[in-house]
Structure 1
């Protein structure tokens, strides 16, 4: 008979250890307090705290997962955009350098009075004035096409 009473008593006491107790009391100023231990100077009552349902935790996890995916997607898009901008800057710098060199060649070309070609013997063969103008015009058009105005 004593054993039968001990087993339910043990199970009840085990249940109290499995959850933390919350105590409520009111102090001398009329303020309500809550704590995990009852106060020594005031009378208190144990308050039952209901845990959030498992669905709320699942919903919170799903929201967190969606937010994490969104943040990751934004980060990937930002990195792709920054890489594209860096690539565009590099191309623009190369284009600018190429145009600078072409403009320098054009300026040099305009300072030359006449052009020549080398024949099979390595001798200079000067071109006509009309050919000079054609060479200059073609090069100016090429610079305008590649570099704008």
Structure 2
């Protein structure tokens, strides 16, 4: 009789463990409808849901926590690098616009005024026609480089 009693107690002790081992699968079909079932569907990735704890795990997920952490860090690093590249491009574009505007203003001034006065070494003097022509060419080059579409480096 004691053996039967011990066997019965052992079986009763195992019932919660067996009940906890129940597995439910969750998947979404092609129409976007979510399904639940006790068998894993074929040809579709399903989530394995622990009924007792409410926690879910992806079926066929072989990646460890360290691998997942490494992947997350790589994605964050890539996003950070992309953000830096976007910021650098925006800064470069703003600098090009500033250069373009300044060169266009200088080109307009040098084209419309026959005499250009500059200050050199604390003294003022007028540019010679050759110097005006040279400055005009310089400003035209700056306009060409900064006002058009940006060329790939």
> Scaled by the length of structure 2, what TM-score is found?
0.49
Write 1 or 2 for the structure with the bigger share of strand: 2
Larger RCO, structure (CA 8 Å, separation 6 or more): 2
Write 1 or 2 for the structure with the bigger share of helix: 1
